[in-house]
Amino acid sequence: MEIQGRIWIKEKGKNFLGYGKVELLERIAKSGSISKAAKEMRMSYKAAWDCVDAMNKLSKEPLVLTIKGGKNGGGAKITQKGREMIEVFHQMREFHEQLLGFLERNFYAWEEFLEQRDKILSLIQRSSNENEC
């Protein structure tokens, strides 16, 4: 048996950071280019740009700085805040995976606990109903 789950961060009700966006940030950091990162991920430049724009707008500080193209071409750079968010996400993901592993290893104990909890709640409910005036 496996217990699975994914983790992502929302800000102002919108998806801020998740597996795909972190991968995009990492690829931008490595290549110095939103376009190259998008190609590596088999996504359109516009989709990648929209992700970067959304993350930058939802964050208190930009995660990616862009350099306008021209004679020497443009580029993109991950900010210190962007690097911090990548690290925070990886730490959260690792903790999340540990939690899922714990739940998986203890599934049957949880199942028993939940059964007992339901019995206890039922007894509490009956007791409070009997004590009503």
Tokens representing residue 55 in the block: 């993350």
Task: Enumerate the domain spans of the chain.
Answer: 7-91, 102-133
Which fold does the domain 7-91 belong to in CATH? Answer: Arc Repressor Mutant, subunit A (1.10.10)
Predicted local confidence at residue 70, as pLDDT: 64
Which residues of the chain carry a pLDDT beneath 70? 70-71, 128, 130-133
**Which residue type sits at 68?**
K
Predicted local confidence at residue 47, as pLDDT: 98
Chain-centroid distance of CA 5 in Å reads 11
Residue 106 DSSP class: T
> In this prediction, what percent of the chain has a pLDDT beyond 70?
93
CA pair distance 85, 8, nearest whole angstrom: 12
CB 77 within 8 A of CB 62: no
Predicted local confidence at residue 131, as pLDDT: 57
